[in-house]
């Protein structure tokens, strides 16, 4: 049986989560891993040509969260680039050759300003509970487009 189709809005905010295979600590922070993840994330945003804007992110040792705004169903290509390159490059660093990700990423639409603020807060709080983590929160280029 195939995967169900994803239904993306024409334009909107999404809270994205992706987890490492079996919850393994494949993303444990180190200077090399941080540099690779940061570079791949920056390149993914750059390649989206403005169709995906990254507002907040956190990478823990076994998963990551993103708060993004996307237009025109560009999230799928963005996530394909991000996950493929992180798995290939970080996998090489940590000597991991098997499947890197547990399953498909989760992309939940953020439907109102309250949910938007809640997702930014949970992205930040999630990092506070991770013993080894790194995160960065970006300020939106303009006020939220919701409501």
Per the model's pLDDT, the better-predicted residue between 127 and 132 turns out to be: 127
| pLDDT at residue 45 tops 80 | yes
Query: In the structure, what pLDDT confidence band is assigned to residue 135 with cuts at 50, 70 and 90?
Result: very low
Distance in angstroms (rounded) separating the CA atoms of residues 34 and 86: 11
Answer whether residue 145 is part of any domain.
no
Tokens of 115: 């949910």
What average pLDDT does the segment 109-136 reach?
A: 62
Instruction: Determine the pLDDT at residue 145.
Output: 47
The predicted-structure confidence for 5-21, as pLDDT tens digits, reads as follows 566 677 889 999 999 99
Q: In this predicted structure, what is the pLDDT of residue 76?
A: 92
Residue 5 lies inside a defined structural domain of this protein: no
The pair phi, psi for residue 139, each rounded to 5°, is: -85, 135
pLDDT tens profile 59-89: 999 999 999 999 988 999 999 999 999 999 9
Q: Which domain holds residue 73?
A: 11-137
CA–CA distance, 24 with 98 (Å, rounded to integer)? 12
CATH of residue 55's domain is 3.30.70.1290
* Number of independent structural domains in the chain: 1
Q: Is residue 1 part of a domain?
A: no
The answer to whether 132 and 28 are in contact (CB under 8 A) is yes
């Amino acid at each position: 049986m195939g995967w169900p189709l994803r239904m993306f809005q024409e334009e909107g905010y999404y809270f994205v989560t992706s987890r490492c295979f079996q919850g393994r600590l494949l993303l444990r922070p180190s200077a090399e891993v941080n540099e690779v993840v940061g570079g791949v994330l920056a390149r993914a945003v750059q390649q989206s040509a403005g169709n995906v804007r990254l507002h907040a992110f956190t990478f823990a040792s076994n998963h990551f969260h993103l708060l993004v705004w996307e237009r025109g169903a560009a999230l799928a290509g963005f996530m394909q680039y991000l996950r493929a390159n992180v798995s290939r490059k970080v996998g090489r660093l940590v000597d991991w050759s098997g499947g890197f990700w547990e399953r498909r990423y989760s992309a939940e639409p953020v439907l109102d300003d309250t949910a938007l603020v809640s997702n930014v807060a949970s992205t930040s709080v999630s990092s506070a509970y991770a013993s080894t983590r790194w995160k960065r929160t970006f300020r939106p280029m303009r006020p939220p487009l919701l409501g």
